[in-house]
Chain A
Amino acid sequence: MSAMPASEAVAAPVHTRPMVEVRAVSKVYPSGVEALTSISLDCPEGGLTTLLGPSGCGKTTLLKIIAGLIPATGGEVRVNGQVVTGPGPERSFVFQDFALLPWASVLRNAAFGLELRGVPRSEREAIAEQYIAKVGLKGFEHRFPHELSGGMRQRVGLARALAVSADVILMDEPFSAVDEQTRRKFQEDLLELIANERKTFVFVTHSIEEAVYISNRIVLLSRRPSTVSEVIDVELPRGSPEEIRRHPVYLDTIETIWRGLKHYLD
C-alpha cells in the first residue's frame, strides 16, 4: 500500500493515460457556498477509484461534475482525453436513490438508456435482458420497481448503466440505501463484475471498509470546501472475500484512513 500526499498525487502516472483526469476543478454555488476548491486527481483506466470523505456534498458534487450533470466553476475534467462539457455516451451513472421510473417495468427501466439513444425496441430489450441476467435479476423483467426490494432496484440501476456500453461507470453511493448483508453481497458481486468488464469505475462512498475492499485507488477528500487530502493506491492480495476482509493489509489501510479522517469529524 502506498500513500501519497496530495502534491505528488497527480504527478505519478499509473499504466497509460488515466481515463479520467480532473484538473483544478472548483465549484462555487450561486449562493456563494464553496463546495470544491482546486481538486486534481486521476482515475486509472480499467480500475475502480473511490472518492471518500466525510458526509457533506463535496464527493457527489465532484462525481456529477465528472458526469457532466453539473458545470464546474473552474478547472476542467477530461475523460479519455476529451474535455467534459455535458453528459456523454462514454460515461454512465448509477444513482444513490436508484432513479427508476416507477411506471415502467424492470425491462423498460434497464433499457431506458438505450431507449433514449434511439436503439430499436427489440434490440434494446435483448441487450437489457442480458444485463438483467448479469446482475442476477433474471425472471423479474416484467415486475415493477415497487415490487422489488431496495437491493434489487439498485441492480436494475446497475444493469441500465452497463447496458449502454459506456467506458466509465460513475456510482454515487450506490449501496448506501440497502441493508448491510445486501451491501456486502453487492461489494463482492461488484468486484467480480469489474474483473469481467473492461471499464473504469469511479465510486463515491463514505464507508472506509467499502472503499478499501473494492478500490484500486482511494482519493480522500477533506471537509467543505473540499480539496484532495490524500491519494492511496490499494494493493490487496487475491483471495476469498473472507480472507481479504481479515488480511492485515486490508485492516491496516482502513486504520490509516480512519486516523486521517478523524480530524475532520470534530
Chain B
Amino acid sequence: MMIAPAPGRIPGARRTTCEPNSAENAMRQKAEMIETVTRTPAGELKSPSLSNLLQHPLSFRLLSLVLVLSAWELAGRVPISPTFPTFLETLSATLEMIGEGSLQSALLVTVVPLVIGVAVSAVIGVLIGVVMGLDTRAEWLGVPVFIVLQAAPLAALIPLLVLAYGIGLATKVLIVCIMAMPVIVLNSFKAIRHAPVSLVDMGRAFLGTRRQLIAKIILPSAAPVIFAGLRLGTAAGFVGAILAELLVTPTGIGDIITYNQSIAEYPRMYGAIATVIVLSVCCVESLEWAERRFFRPEKRGQA
C-alpha cells in the first residue's frame, strides 16, 4: 500500500510541469488506500514442488481455509483454554441460533442502523470530499478537521453519545456516521486531488469547460479511490455499531456476544462473532463487485 506521490492539480490552480522537486503542499493526505499490489515479485525463492500441483488460486484459498479451520478445531480440542471452543462446536451453535431465529433478529437490529449510517455517510461524505478536492477554500477549512478525526480514536466518543442520547436507532446511526465519515471524506478528497494530470491536460487541450472536466474526467478517474473509501467506511461503521452494543446497552449482535460470554456459552459467543466478521467481509466484497460492475468496464475481465 502506498501513498501516491506528487498530487495532480485542477485546471485554474497554478500548475507546475516538469519542475525538479516540485514542492508538495504541506498538508499531508492521511487517507488510507488499500490496494493489493499485483506486480510480479522480485527474487522468488523456489517453492516446493507440491505447490506446483495447486497452482490454481481458488484451490489455494480453499486450502488456506481448511488449514486454518483445522487448526482451530485442533486448538479447541487440546484444549488451549476452557473458553476456547472447537470450530465444529461453534458451527453447530451458530446453526442452532439460526434455527431459533435469534441470530437473524439480532443481526437485523445491528445491521439496520449500519446500512442507514453508511448510506448517509457515503452521500454526504463523498459530497464533502469532492467539494474539498475541487475548491481550495473548502480544502483549507475541512481537511485539518478530518485529518484529526481520522487519526483520533473516535471510538472513545461512543460511551459519551450513548449516555447522552440512549441507544436508540438515531444514536446508532450517528455513531456509524461519525466512525465512517472521516475516511470516506478524506478518500474522496484525495481521489479528486490525484486526478491524472495528463488526462486533465488532454481535456483542456480539447477545450473542455471546467464542468466537463469534472464530470467526464476527474470524477470517473476518482471512482476507484472513492470506492476504496466507501469500503473502509463500511468497515469502520461496523466497528461503531458493534462497539456501541458491546460497550453500553446490549442490543442486537452485541447482546448475543455479551450475554453468552457472561453465561460462559462460548460456542454461541464465538459463533456470533464469526457471523459478524463474515457479514462485514461480505459487505465489503459486494461493494467491490458493485464498483467493478457499474463503474469500471475495463476491469471486468481482470481478477
For residues 265 through 303 of chain B, which have their beta carbon under 8 Å from a beta carbon of chain A? 295-298
Over the window 17-48 of chain A, the binary record of Cβ atoms lying under 8 Å from chain B Cβ atoms (1 yes, 0 no) is 00000000000011101010000000000000
**Contact in complex: B295, A117 (CB < 8 Å):** no
- Among the listed stretches B14-22, B74-82, B155-163, which one makes contact with chain A, having 4 or more residues with CB under 8 Å of it? B14-22
Alpha-carbon distance A67/B206, docked complex (angstroms): 10
Query: Majority SS of interface residues in chain A?
Result: loop
Indicate whether A60 reaches chain B with its CB closer than 8 angstroms.
yes
**Contact in complex: B207, A103 (CB < 8 Å):** no
Indicate whether B92 reaches chain A with its CB closer than 8 angstroms.
no
Indicate whether B203 reaches chain A with its CB closer than 8 angstroms.
yes
Indicate whether B202 reaches chain A with its CB closer than 8 angstroms.
yes
Indicate whether A138 reaches chain B with its CB closer than 8 angstroms.
no
- Among the listed stretches A84-92, A181-189, A204-212, A238-246, which one makes contact with chain B, having 4 or more residues with CB under 8 Å of it? A84-92
**Contact in complex: A33, B217 (CB < 8 Å):** no
Alpha-carbon distance A99/B204, docked complex (angstroms): 12
Over the window 82-111 of chain A, the binary record of Cβ atoms lying under 8 Å from chain B Cβ atoms (1 yes, 0 no) is 000001110111010101011100000000
Q: Which residue of B lies closest to A57 (CB)?
A: B18
Most chain A CB within 10 A, of B14, B199, B209, is at B199
**Contact in complex: B204, A101 (CB < 8 Å):** no
**Contact in complex: B16, A87 (CB < 8 Å):** no
For residues 127 through 149 of chain A, which have their beta carbon under 8 Å from a beta carbon of chain B? 144-146
Min Cβ gap A53→B in Å is: 14
Indicate whether B55 reaches chain A with its CB closer than 8 angstroms.
no
Given A30-B14, A61-B17, A69-B201, also A103-B297 (CB < 8 A): yes
Selected from B17, B202, B206, the residue in CB contact (under 8 A) with A57 is B17
Alpha-carbon distance A64/B208, docked complex (angstroms): 16
Chain A contacts for B15, CB-based, 8 A:
70
Selected from B199, B205, B221, the residue in CB contact (under 8 A) with A93 is B205
Q: Which residue of A lies closest to B203 (CB)?
A: A116
Min Cβ gap A189→B in Å is: 22
Min Cβ gap B191→A in Å is: 14
**Contact in complex: A64, B206 (CB < 8 Å):** no
Indicate whether B40 reaches chain A with its CB closer than 8 angstroms.
no
**Contact in complex: B297, A64 (CB < 8 Å):** no
Indicate whether A175 reaches chain B with its CB closer than 8 angstroms.
no
Please list the residues of chain A having a beta carbon within 8 angstroms of any beta carbon in chain B. Answer: 29-31, 33, 35, 57, 60-61, 64, 67-70, 87-89, 91-93, 95, 97, 99, 101-103, 112-113, 115-117, 144-146, 160, 164
Please list the residues of chain B having a beta carbon within 8 angstroms of any beta carbon in chain A. Answer: 14-20, 22-23, 198-199, 201-209, 212, 216-217, 220-221, 295-298
Smallest CB-CB A-B distances: 3 pairs: A57-B18, A99-B202, A113-B206
